[in-house]
Amino acid sequence: MNHFTSKIKVRYAETDQMGVVHHANYPLYFEEARLNWLDNLEISYATMEKDGIMLPVYKISVAYHAPAHFDDVLSVTTSLVGKPTAKIVFDYRILNQEEKLIATGSTTLVFVDATSRKPIACPKIILDRLGF
């Protein structure tokens, strides 16, 4: 399962004075979609953290193609890029309810031991669930 689509409804508080989704919300949409991708694989981020595995964002990019507005229902497709190693890379594609391209982006996260704060290999459970 290398991709998953989440639905996110734009809340009023996420918009600016022009009624457009503020640019700072897109990384939050990426995060929600990424957590949904993990949930779909039956992998709990909370359990990973309890097991001493952290997954901080190392790099993020967003390209804005068209505005999203209050009450839009966004489809955020999260796609895994390659086999996870000590890092995991995702691409995102956001469409509105008319299937207009709103934004694209990517994130790179690093698997880190919570105690040592040093990078570690991708957990076996994730590799197994992905068929690697």
Q: Which of 75, 63, 64 shows the shortest CA–CA distance to 4?
A: 75
**From 16, 71, 113, 128, active-site residue:** 16
Contact yes or no for 65/103 (Cβ under 8 A): yes
Q: Is 128 one of the annotated active-site residues of the chain?
A: no
Residues 6+ positions from 11 with CB-CB distance below 8 Å: 70
Q: How far apart are CA 88 and CA 80, in angstroms?
A: 8
- Give me the active site residues, please: 16
